Amino acid sequence: MTIAPQPLDARVVQALSGITTATLTTVLLKKGLRNVWLRGARPLAPGARRIVGRAFTLRFVPAREDLATPASWASPISTRAAIEDMPEGCIAVVDAMGVTDAGIFGDILCARMHKRGVAALVTDGVVRDLEGVEGTGLPVWCSGAAAPPSVAGLTFVGWQEPVGCGGVAVFPNDVIVLDRDGAVLIPAAILDEVVDIAIEQERLEGWIMQQVEAGEKLPGLYPPNQENQARYQAWRAKQGAMPNQ
């Protein structure tokens, strides 16, 4: 049974677009969640912008010769069919089991995803037709490129079900944030709480950076002791009192 995609509130997208994945991992660590960074998912293009979206999951298993064939691409259970179910704004999260010698998607599939308004592709595997994929304009986080097709090493088995990508459990409609540091998962159940904490954490770290640039020493500043907490709260109150802040 597949899970229906859910839209992501524009307020959440706007807030998370201003928060680094580094900050998010710190916030999630404080919530007891250590395993949220998807290993092997690196931005394919330099200077990648931050992207936020709901996870739309796809899952591969090891190749089996009677199933992993070019004919399987026309099956009702195929990556082609999964792409047609992807809603605008989602982030396709593909469990490729860390396989790096078979490209899960090529330029044609990526072009179709971009046409459908998919925000990004994230995988612990690799893509193929690298030059063509880059030309589609679809942002991709992956482990690189390989010429062989997916069926050379993988069998596609379904979409919108729990997957493991980069060693992280990803459920449909969890939230993914991407930037140059990689891909971070926020569990859907604690999204609003994490967003609120992360906004405050980013504000605090911005103030700390100002102090560092002014010549302040790190002990007692990062993390802030009681004195610096008071200084920060005074600064924060002043910022809130200013117009257009």
- Asked if 82 and 105 count as a contact pair (C-beta separation under 8 A), the reply is no
Which has the closest alpha carbon to 151: 60, 76, 233, 220? 60
pLDDT at residue 70 in the model = 79
Mean pLDDT of all residues in 5-21: 93
Quick: pLDDT tens for 122-161.
999 999 999 999 999 999 999 999 999 999 999 999 999 9
Q: Which residue has the tokens 């839209």?
A: 7
Answer whether residue 31 shows pLDDT above 60.
yes
Answer whether residue 245 shows pLDDT above 60.
no
Quick: pLDDT tens for 61-107.
999 888 767 777 778 789 999 999 999 999 999 999 999 999 999 99
* Mean pLDDT score across all residues of the chain: 94
The DSSP-derived string for 121-160 is: EEESSBBSSHHHHHHHT--EEES-B-SSBGGGTEEEEEES
pLDDT band for position 244 (cuts 50, 70, 90):
very low
Which has the closest alpha carbon to 169: 187, 152, 157, 183? 187
Question: Which of the pair, 239 or 50, is modelled with greater confidence?
Answer: 50
- The CA dihedral of 9, 141, 188, 194, to the nearest 10 degrees, is -80
With pLDDT > 70 as the criterion, what percentage of the chain qualifies?
A: 97
Mean pLDDT of all residues in 209-232: 97
- Asked if 92 and 118 count as a contact pair (C-beta separation under 8 A), the reply is yes
Answer whether residue 220 shows pLDDT above 50.
yes
